Amino acid sequence: AGRNLYVKKETGSTNDDAKMAGLNGEAHGTLIVADEQTKGRGRNGRYWHTPKEKNVAMSLLLHPESDPAKAPMLTLVMGLALAQGIEKVCGQKVSIKWPNDIVLDKHKLCGILTEMYLHDGKCDVVIGVGINVNQEEFAPEIADMAGSLFTQTGKEYDRNEVIAQVMNAFEIDYDLFIENENLKLLKNDYEERLINKDKPVKVLDPNGEYQGTALGITDTGELIVEKEDGSRVVINSGEVSVRGL
Ligand code: BTN
């Protein structure tokens, strides 16, 4: 992945650029990087702030041969690659908050927004990644949850180095994903970093809330939670939110 690279000074959203690239027939593995986004998009319709030349905003275009229904797993593959790439750059172990927030010392460093498009009978997957690298300040209302590599380690980092390390990790992880078209071969690396593993969590789902212990993930990326009565539930991202206690 990442063989074709487009770098932009400013754009609306690299996810939109990658979608266009897909419509224009760009190859599997095309990566679009921007120094600044004016309409960066987060999950659930939220805005994603990308200040000029501070952070990484990039989107990877894939034409997976696997079933489009498996695309959500690619978000977890990218989450793991982000953790591994960032660890290489900053020399510290980072955690993954299921499904795919990357956390260093309780502050979220990265976000992933995966989008899928069907056109001409093919499925394009766009994995958008925002990494807070050298951003110095966060709005007061998010400052205790959000951070950057700079705010968490006190050092500045080369953004290109961050991109290279993350994409190198993704390339390896993607091949391991393709082998079984699931996360079986990545599960250990993922669970090693899972923030609530073997710890109490509160699960909020549309049917109410309950407490349990997060045990790990399934081969397809669902979180396994053991309830207080000993029964196990397997939860999907999307409908639920999981919090540490
Ligand atoms: C989240 O809400 O946690 C996901 C944030 C994803 C942000 C990235 S930045 C690059 C790409 N382009 C966008 O507009 N969004 C994603």
The domains of the chain are located at 5-192, 196-244
Q: Going by C-beta distance under 8 Å and a sequence separation of 6 or more, which residues neighbour residue 83?
A: 94, 95, 96, 102, 193
In this prediction, residues 69-93 reach a mean pLDDT of: 95
Instruction: Give the pLDDT score at 245.
Output: 67
Residue type, 216: G
CATH number assigned to the domain with residue range 196-244, chosen from the 4 options 2.30.30.100, 2.60.40.420, 1.10.1200.10, 2.60.40.2310: 2.30.30.100
- pTM greater than 0.90 (yes/no): yes
Is any atom of ligand 1 closer than 6 Å to the C-beta of 41? yes
Closest to 196 (Cα-Cα) out of 232, 244, 137, 132 = 244
The per-residue pLDDT for range 114-152, each reduced to its tens digit, is 999 988 788 899 999 999 999 999 999 999 999 999 999
Instruction: Please report which confidence band the pLDDT of residue 2 belongs to, taking 50, 70 and 90 as the band edges.
Output: very low
Instruction: Give the pLDDT score at 161.
Output: 98
Index of the ligand 1 atom closest to the CA of residue 110: 3
- Dihedral-angle region of residue 181 (phi above 0 means left; psi in -120 to 50 means alpha; beta otherwise): left
Average pLDDT, the chain: 92
- For residue 221, pLDDT over 60 is answered with yes
CATH code reported for the domain at 5-192: 3.30.930.10
Helix axes 71-90, 159-180, angle to 10 degrees: 140
Is any atom of ligand 1 closer than 6 Å to the C-beta of 49? no
Index of the ligand 1 atom closest to the CA of residue 39: 14
Distance 14 CA to ligand 1 centre (A): 8
Is ipTM beyond 0.90? yes
Pocket test for ligand 1, best of 33, 41, 138, 167 (most atoms within 8 A of CB): 41
In this prediction, residues 222-238 reach a mean pLDDT of: 88
Instruction: Give the pLDDT score at 240.
Output: 62
